[in-house]
A and B are shown apart, each in its own frame.
Chain A
Amino acid sequence: MSWLKVAVLFLSITPFVVQGGNFSEIENISFSHAYSYYQQGDSLNALSLIMAAREMKHLGDDSVEAELFLAENLARMGVVDEALGVYRKIAEHAKSVRLQDTAWLEYAKLSHQQGRYKEAFRALAKIKKSMSGGQQQERQLIQAHAYLAEGKTKAAVKALPKISAESLWAMYQYFNIGVELIEKHRSKHGALVLHHLTKLDVKGQTEREAIRDQAALALGFSLLKMNKAAKARVYFDKVRLDGHLSGIALLGMGWAYSQSGDYEKALIYWLELQERASNSAYSYESLLAVPYAYSKAGAYKQSIEQYKISQKRIDTEIVKLTNAQRSIKSGNLVAMVSTVPDDELAWYGKLAYAASALESRVMPLLMANPGFQKSLMEYRSLLQLDKYVRQMKVQLNELQQLSPKDRSGADLQALNQRYKKLTQQLRLSLNANLQQLEQQAVNTLARYKVQLETYIEQARFGMAQAIEGAIVGAKGER
């Protein structure tokens, strides 16, 4: 093989794919061809091209970087064993210690995510010392989480690093460990972990900002449960008002003031929540919270008016939910979910503006259910896979034209059979997934209906209290 060495600089490639890998310069044509598919959002074609180039030994001097890229994306798509195999191969054969270490670290991260802690520990033990600050943090976090899984809380806390915002993966793990320490192990260190996350400077980095918001919320609600309202407010206050978690922060802030007996301040946050255009579980909460706070603040007249407004709204919402359930059962879910952007962090803001059809207005309610979010992600992955497999039919037909009736003809026949089997399985899987998604949507809306139906009773009771308060107040004035 001869090489014409030219400096080929891919200006638009950002080295985010594999930490430690450097994609700013890709010389190999096969790899850069595949990578351009990836840049255009077609990961499946990118991976199959790299796998083909790997098979034909066409990756040249960029083979290690290409394989790191391949392994990371196989892991993302859930093809775990293949991904682990590629990492192991790189770790055992790469010439540079830095690449070996990166591969062992990625191997450990993936094993850890699968709950294979012993395997993760073994991989970590092979790492030498050429890691970046972010990679060091990832290594310590794997150790800490593995200790936690074994119930060794003290060892886990001791192993925990103080992370920076360098590694997104580390931020997620740090958050999970913090929540686990609070929820399962009742450890105060969990609060310190979450507190640390809320202090990271991540301005302008959307996904990191979302994690920071989540940490502030988790900490705020934990403190609220412990009746530490003043401290909880500090954390609710850190949540961005323009972020997708701002609704629950407003609700929490209201509860925090309410817990301190400051109902007028609570009202500021709950009214803001109520005024927001989009539907959400949190705006439903404001249907009771607002009149309740008015009543507690002694504004009985406003309270009674608000209860009346809420009762009407509850009735309307129940009808709307029933209609949406009917629409989903008639097969309209596919159209409804098409309004949800692919980027899960962007869905809230966009839906608030895009949702004009009656059915689409329930999407924020569905998206607030993490189970539904996951199923939707799964369904969309299958749709992408379906699109990719359909393209193969075109390629198979093209090859049919080219192929002479010799050995390659037999190969082509075998590929055709694999294609047929795959499309049948994919069809079954897509149908099953859509059914599951529809069922989940109908059930989620049913739960909201139950929630609202209990509110009818509570609103009646609350209004009676407000009327009683108004009468007692009027007598007192006389």
Chain B
Amino acid sequence: MRSVSYFALTAFLSFGLLVSFISPVKAAVDIDPALLPDRSQLVRDALFLGRDLAVLRERLSEADSRSLTLYLNLDSYSVERFQSLSVRVNGQAIVEQRLNPRSSDPVGLKQIRSVALPSGDYKLEVHLASADEKLSESIKFVKGSGRDQVKILVSFNASKSSTQKPPEITLAHEQWGELK
């Protein structure tokens, strides 16, 4: 007598379904090797085009003028806590921004402003404000170079001893290019 179990199991095995369990897709090669050359070439071309665009943009802004580029990184806690951000250079406001915790901005490091670099020494101030508190940090930079970049990082620090420290602003400064 023919056995149903035999046929069912045979159909199952011959259908090749087991293959999906004994070859993890991510194991050795992520993509179908037959398709790899085409796509990898496209990815390569796109990345190099993106790189060259970024380099040209940088070169144009270098040639254009001495500049100060500001990057901002707020953690999600600080976005919730503060409603506004302002940045001043030598007392002049260059950024006045409302923070909106419901929007996707500005958690994560983002370029927020690029302005002409003041000549000589300059003072940079960052102010964050909520309804009942203000947080400020300022720093003086000795001479702007050709290209100054400042990263403003606002983070809330919770210590291991469960004593919560208030948010802190830290400023990181880099200069590229020749002094003019």
Contacts and interface: CB of A to CB of B under 8 A. Distances in A.
Interface centre among B51, B149, B153 (most CB of A within 10 A): B51
Contacts of A48: 47, 49-51, 53-54
Nearest to B69: A29
A255 B9 contact: yes
B2 interface: yes
B39 to A, nearest CB: 6
Interface residues of A, number: 100
Nearest to B171: A6
B40 A281 contact: no
Interface string B43-67: 1111111111111111111011000
A284 to B, nearest CB: 9
Interface string A273-311: 000000001000100110010000000000000000000
Nearest to A391: B50
B51 A402 contact: no
A381 B39 contact: yes
Given A28-B174, A374-B25, A377-B25, A458 B53 contact: no
A381 B31 contact: yes
A447 B27 contact: no
Contacts of B1: 465
Given A172-B24, A377-B31, A11 B155 contact: yes
Interface string A62-75: 00000000000010
B170 A82 contact: no
A35 B28 CA distance: 25
A378 interface: yes
B7 A29 contact: no
A175 B26 CA distance: 12
A385 B42 contact: yes
B17 to A, nearest CB: 5
Contacts of A422: 42, 45-46, 49
B15 A399 contact: no
Given A51-B51, A399-B53, A458-B7, A6 B31 contact: no
B100 interface: no
B40 A77 contact: yes
A392 B4 contact: no
A44 B47 contact: yes
Contacts of A40: 108
A292 B4 contact: yes
B20 interface: yes
Contacts of B173: 2-4
Interface in A37-74: 39-40, 44-45, 47-49, 51-52, 55-56, 58, 60, 74
A46 to B, nearest CB: 10
A11 B45 CA distance: 34
B162 interface: no
A247 B155 CA distance: 46
B172 interface: yes
Interface string B1-30: 110110111011001011111111111111
Interface in A109-129: 113
A402 B75 contact: no
A107 interface: no
B111 interface: yes
A52 B49 contact: no
Given A415-B49, A418-B49, A378 B55 contact: no
Given A79-B44, A289-B5, 14 more contacts: A6-B172, A30-B149, A32-B109, A33-B71, A176-B23, A176-B24, A179-B23, A214-B22, A258-B5, A288-B4, A402-B60, A408-B56, A408-B63, A433-B35
Interface of B: 1-2, 4-5, 7-9, 11-12, 15, 17-32, 35-36, 38-40, 42-61, 63-64, 71, 73, 75, 108-111, 139, 141, 145, 149, 151, 153, 155, 170-176
Interface of A: 1-4, 6-9, 11-12, 27-30, 32-33, 35-36, 39-40, 44-45, 47-49, 51-52, 55-56, 58, 60, 74, 76-80, 82, 113, 172-173, 175-176, 179, 183, 211, 214, 217-218, 221, 245, 248, 251, 255, 258, 281, 285, 288-289, 292, 344, 368-370, 373-375, 377-378, 381-382, 385, 388-389, 392, 395-396, 398-399, 402-403, 408, 411-412, 415, 418-419, 422, 425-426, 429, 433, 447, 451, 454-455, 458, 461-462, 465
6 contacts: A47-B47, A175-B27, A176-B28, A382-B42, A396-B53, A425-B45
Q: Which 4 A-B pairs have the closest CB atoms?
A: A48-B50, A52-B54, A78-B40, A36-B109
